[in-house]
Amino acid sequence: MTIVFVNGVPVTSAVWMPLINELSKSQQRETVLLSPPGFGAPLPSNFGATFVDYRDWLIDELSRFEAPVDIVGHDFGGGYALEVAMARPDLLRSWVSDTIGGYEPDFTWHETAKLWQTPGDGERHVEEIFSGDVEERAARMVDWGIPEPAACEVALGQGPQMGKAILALYRSVPQAVLIERGLDLPAAAARPGLVPVATEDHTAGSVALRHRAAQRAGARAVDLNGLGHWWMLQEPTQTARMLSDFWNSL
């Protein structure tokens, strides 16, 4: 049984490495890192980089495996994982997503997301955060809460293509689209799900909202007290244990 990790924005698969190193102590299974186009993988010129495009990309990637996988998604990667659970549960044994709060009708986008969704302002912001050399970009990622050495590894994969993908992606999911997609959330219960609830992640909706969404998806919610958006980097040992406990219970 393969474990598949899918990263989100504005990073690459480098954010998973400390967690994967810990998991190797308890899970002797194949691990695959799937980087979405523009986020650690090339962005094809004909790829629209909308939310639906990324969902379809992930379905296509998972269709190549010989058996259903255990998928772990972070940030937008968690959204793509949920979409697969709702649309193609036959591709999964289980799913893990920390962004399930976005499927609740009272979820609101964080301020940076609103900035990226705004024409002009979004372009200026991505140009600013992806400008400079690797050291300068890594320093910005440290300011965003990503510790070294992951910040430097992420910075190596950042640039204009990632900025272009971010703008297209965020602009494809305004509030009304999120509300519509959330109507199908109960379908994710077709496969066992786990929702890591990092209590200090202020981009993913309130703790109560995420618990409510997990319940609608038939998933188990686990509070990660004191951890933020980059929970897998902050406490890789603790979060590896959380994942192992979940998979061992299936």
Q: Is residue 179 part of a domain?
A: yes
Give the strands of the sheet with 193-198, arranged side by side: 31-34, 3-6, 69-73, 92-97, 193-198, 220-224
**Domain hosting residue 216, numbered range:** 3-108+175-248
Model pLDDT, residue 190: 98
Q: How many domains does the chain have?
A: 1
CATH of the domain at 96: 3.40.50.1820
Tell me how far apart the alpha carbons of residues 246 and 250 are, in angstroms, rounded to a whole number: 7
Model pLDDT, residue 50: 98
Q: For the chain, 250 residues long, give each residue's pLDDT as a single digit of tens.
A: 899 999 999 999 999 999 999 998 888 899 999 999 999 999 999 999 999 999 999 999 999 999 999 999 999 999 999 999 999 999 999 999 999 999 999 999 999 999 999 999 999 999 999 999 999 999 999 999 999 999 999 999 999 999 999 999 999 999 899 999 999 999 999 999 999 999 999 999 999 999 999 999 999 999 999 999 999 999 999 999 999 999 999 9
Q: Is residue 204 part of a domain?
A: yes
Model pLDDT, residue 125: 97
Model pLDDT, residue 118: 98
Q: Is residue 166 part of a domain?
A: no
Q: Is residue 182 part of a domain?
A: yes
HEC per residue, the chain: CCEEEECCCCCCHHHHHHHHHHHCCCCCCCEEEECCECCCECCCCCCCCCHHHHHHHHHHHHCCCCCCEEEEECCHHHHHHHHHHHHCHHHEEEEEECCHHHHCCCCCCCHHHHHHCCCCHHHHHHHHHCCCCHHHHHHHHHHCCCCCCHHHHHHHCCCHHHHHHHHHHHHCCCHHHHHHHHCCHHHHHHCCEEEEEECCCCCCCCHHHHHHHHHHCCCEEEEECCCCCCHHHHCHHHHHHHHHHHHHCC
Model pLDDT, residue 68: 98
Q: Is residue 164 part of a domain?
A: no
Q: Is residue 184 part of a domain?
A: yes
Q: Is residue 15 part of a domain?
A: yes
Tell me which residue of 26, 188, 172, 10 sits closest to 96, measured CA to CA. 188
pTM over 0.85: yes
Model pLDDT, residue 26: 85
